[in-house]
């Protein structure tokens, strides 16, 4: 079977137009991110929802050949865009080439928004196509390009049920696509075969970077991740990533499974190239020591708690130099918790990576103006970046706490199938708030965080729900907001603004934490499905606030200034 990889022409378009890395190869009139064509069209208004932000990182302190190593890592990272485009939809490559050939004002706006979304569907608008009927764009396929376009979910599920042992593990594993062989039978094709050309090129850059760096753990990770791109075995490189202790902190490869809306099995390619913030990392490292205590206190049946968490739970605070693929589409990631391989998590725990410069941009561009509309005037003073930043940290920490497997050893993600992403995101959010209260009660966090965390979370809920409720994070925040409204923990004022009910919020947060973790512990797919069906809606009182936020940016569109400068040297 021949490899199915993006064409060289399409990759060239991506490298020269996407993610803020415009180069002289572009026409002088080509708009960069955050520069919509001035047509006044509906499309321009969609683009304007993403506030342009220059992300700069001081790399002057990198010694010796480290800047050269960083440049090679960046070259490998930007290849993830082409891979991710192919994973989202088989038609993306040809459509991108068509859009790039149109140099009209409207054509450049279409290309711009395509690159923001990594496809022709507006992720903020329930995945509706933003292109006209002449482009022939179908509904966004729930199976993405991980499964044959001519197969149904039931057919694939039935085929998987016939498999055993290694064949079954391969079919529902992270790193295979499902295709048809010459006889029309379904087969699992490893990523290193399906995407072999681009992965070989990326591996070459990682090995070049490894040869230049003087940092041993970075060298080890780069070499092992290059090997993984060509062997399809990511275990050793995931372990090396967990043990990474270097100024340059790269994350590159297939990780999150949100694009697979059929089963949540298949991992999407992404990259984050960052520099570690040592002062902030040291400050937040103390939270690692609290994880077992928090696990032991979870408001669930004791039999569902983990008596011993993984050996490592490192926290990294970093500043983003560049992001690509699943790490840079639509709404920007503020933090992440990886890896997702249950074997690695059991052995080493998971690493929490906080993207500080991205979070600061989101707070200033979106959350501050939102609070001026969604919150009562008396509550706006309680908005706090420290509380915002720390809750995102706790969200990532709580991904690693609570039930990970059923009593029979089945992974929770497999038991909950397509509901897992939304339930897990809601769990991490609400249990992160629960955990902050636990730490506040013991004076582990500052009184300022304790005073402001619930109000900041409420304002942030309006920020998050504006991302739409079609993806896991949006579904999760809708579930939480409606649950807390039903419990009276959030209330609507006479003027339509929202407030926290101090008398009810703690119990409501603990209650939702218990409910979600119990669903996970029991693998209750029916309960998960019913809860999402009931709660994933935008209620009238919420919509009225959202209608007032039309002129407030929904999120940011990063321009990777430092990466561009480094690659143009």
Q: Give the pLDDT band (50/70/90) at residue 148.
A: very high
Asked if the model's pLDDT at residue 21 lies above 70, the reply is no
CA atoms within 13 A on the CB side of 226: 21
With 80 as the cut, is the pLDDT of residue 12 above it?
Answer: no
Q: Is the pLDDT of residue 190 over 70?
A: yes
Given the structure tokens 């991490």, which residue do they identify? Answer: 428
Give yes or no for a contact between 314 and 278, defined as CB atoms under 8 angstroms apart: no
User: At 110, is the pLDDT very low, low, confident or very high (cuts 50, 70, 90)?
Assistant: very high
Tokens for 153, please give them: 């979910």
| pLDDT at site 13 | 52
Bridge partners of 556, per DSSP, are 51
Q: Where are the beta strands (DSSP E) in 208-356?
A: 248-254, 269-276, 315-325, 335-338, 351-355
pLDDT at 34: 41
CB-CB contact of 50 with 556 (8 Å): yes
Confidence bin at 348 (pLDDT 50/70/90): confident
Residue 314: the pLDDT is: 81
Mean pLDDT, residues 251-275 taken together: 97
pLDDT tops 90 at residue 100: yes
Task: Say if CB 458 and CB 501 are below 8 A apart.
Answer: no
pLDDT of 208 higher than 80:
yes
Closest listed residue to residue 367, CA positions, set 356, 380, 357 = 380
Q: Which residues contact 18 (CB under 8 A, 6 or more apart)?
A: 78, 81, 115, 324
Q: Which residues pair with 70 in a beta bridge?
A: none
Predicted pLDDT at 35: 43
pLDDT of residue 312: 53
- Distance of CA 565 to CAs 65, 75, 520, 557, 568, Å? 16, 13, 46, 18, 5
Strand 555-560 relative to strand 50-55, pairing: parallel
Burial environment of residue 107 by CB neighbours within 10 A (0 to 12, 13 to 18, 19 or more): middle
pLDDT reading at 116 higher than 80: yes
Distance from the Cα of residue 245 to its chain's centroid: 23
Convert the pLDDT of each residue in 361-398 to its tens digit. 999 999 999 999 999 988 999 999 999 999 988 998 89
* Average pLDDT across the chain, whole number: 91
Q: For 13-26, what is the mean pLDDT?
A: 41
Query: Tokens 């010459």 appear where?
Result: 182
Q: What number is the average pLDDT over the span 234-247?
A: 96
- Note the pLDDT tens digit of each residue in 434-488: 999 999 999 999 888 988 999 999 999 999 998 889 889 899 999 999 999 999 9
Please list, in sequence order, all residues whose beta carbon lies within 8 angstroms of the beta carbon of residue 485, skipping any fewer than 6 positions away.
491, 492, 539, 541
* Confidence at residue 134, expressed as pLDDT on a 0 to 100 scale: 96
- Specify the pLDDT at position 40: 56
- pLDDT of 268-319, one tens digit each? 999 999 999 998 888 777 887 898 999 999 999 999 998 887 555 688 999 9
| % of the chain beyond a pLDDT of 70 | 92
Q: Provide the pLDDT for residue 245.
A: 95
What is the model's pLDDT at position 109? 96
pLDDT at res. 278: 93
Question: How much is the average pLDDT of 505-517?
Answer: 98
Contact 459, 382 (CB under 8 A): no
> What pLDDT, on the 0 to 100 scale, is given for residue 11?
52
Q: In terms of Cα–Cα distance, which of 458, 548, 442 is closest to 502?
A: 458
Q: Are 530 and 409 in contact (CB under 8 A)?
A: no
DSSP state of 367: I
Of 164-168, 214-218, 471-475, give the lowest mean pLDDT range: 471-475
Beta bridge partners of 534: none
Q: How confident is the model at residue 115 (pLDDT cuts 50, 70, 90)?
A: very high
Report d(CA 270, CA 542) in Å as an integer.
33
pLDDT of residue 313: 64
For the chain, the domains span 375-538
In this predicted structure, the answer to whether residue 506 has a pLDDT above a threshold of 50 is yes
Whole-number Å distance between alpha carbons of 489 and 345: 34
Residues in Cβ contact with 455 at an 8 Å cutoff, skipping those fewer than 6 apart: 375, 379, 382, 383, 500
pTM of the model: 0.80
């Amino acid at each position: 079977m021949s490899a199915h990889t993006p064409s060289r022409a399409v990759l060239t378009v991506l490298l020269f137009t996407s993610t803020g890395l415009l180069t002289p190869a572009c026409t002088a009139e080509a708009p960069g991110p955050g520069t919509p064509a001035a047509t006044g069209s509906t499309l321009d208004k969609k683009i304007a929802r993403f506030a342009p932000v220059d992300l700069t990182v001081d790399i002057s302190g990198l010694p010796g050949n480290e800047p050269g190593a960083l440049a090679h890592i960046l070259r490998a990272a930007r290849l993830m865009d082409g891979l991710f485009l192919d994973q989202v939809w088989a038609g993306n490559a040809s459509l991108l080439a068509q859009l790039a050939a149109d140099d009209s004002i409207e054509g450049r706006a279409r290309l711009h928004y395509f690159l923001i979304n990594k496809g022709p569907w507006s992720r903020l608008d329930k995945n509706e196509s933003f292109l006209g009927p002449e482009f022939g764009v179908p509904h966004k396929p729930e199976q993405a390009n991980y499964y044959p376009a001519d197969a149904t979910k039931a057919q694939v599920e039935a085929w998987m049920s016939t498999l055993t042992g290694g064949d079954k593990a391969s079919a529902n594993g992270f790193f295979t696509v499902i295709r048809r062989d010459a006889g029309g039978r379904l087969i699992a094709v490893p990523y290193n075969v399906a995407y072999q050309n681009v992965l070989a090129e990326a591996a070459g850059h990682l090995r070049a970077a490894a040869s230049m760096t003087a940092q041993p753990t970075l060298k080890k990770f780069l070499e092992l991740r290059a090997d993984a791109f060509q062997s399809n075995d990511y275990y050793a490189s995931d372990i090396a990533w967990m043990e990474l202790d270097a100024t340059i902190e790269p994350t590159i490869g297939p990780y999150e499974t949100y694009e697979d809306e059929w089963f949540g099995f298949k991992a999407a390619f992404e990259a984050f190239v960052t520099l570690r913030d040592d002062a902030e990392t040291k400050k937040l490292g103390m939270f690692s020591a609290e994880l077992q205590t928090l696990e032991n206190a979870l408001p669930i049946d004791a039999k569902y708690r983990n008596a011993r968490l993984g050996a490592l739970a490192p926290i990294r605070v970093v500043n983003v130099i560049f992001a690509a693929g699943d790490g840079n589409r639509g709404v920007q990631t503020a933090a992440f918790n990886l890896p997702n391989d249950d074997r690695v998590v059991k052995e080493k725990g998971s690493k929490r990576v906080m993207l500080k410069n991205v979070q600061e941009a989101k707070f200033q561009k979106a959350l501050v103006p939102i609070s001026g509309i969604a919150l009562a005037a008396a509550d706006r003073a309680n908005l706090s970046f420290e509380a915002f930043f720390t809750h995102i940290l706790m969200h990532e920490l709580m991904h690693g706490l609570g039930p990970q497997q059923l009593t029979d050893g089945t992974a929770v993600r497999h038991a909950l199938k397509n509901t897992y992403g939304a339930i897990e995101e809601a769990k991490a959010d609400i249990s992160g708030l629960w955990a902050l209260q636990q730490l506040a009660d013991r004076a582990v966090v500052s009184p300022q965080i304790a005073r402001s965390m619930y109000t900041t979370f409420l304002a942030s809920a309006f920020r998050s729900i504006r991302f739409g409720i079609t993806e896991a994070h949006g579904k999760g925040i809708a579930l939480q907001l409606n649950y807390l409204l039903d419990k009276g923990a959030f209330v609507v004022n006479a003027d339509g603004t929202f407030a926290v009910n101090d008398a009810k919020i703690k119990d409501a947060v603990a209650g939702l934490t218990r409910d979600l973790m119990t669903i996970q512990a029991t693998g209750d797919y029916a309960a998960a499905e019913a809860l999402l069906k009931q709660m994933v809606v935008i209620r009238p009182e919420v919509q009225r606030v959202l209608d007032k936020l039309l002129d407030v940016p929904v999120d940011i569109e990063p321009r990777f200034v430092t990466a561009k400068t480094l690659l143009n040297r």
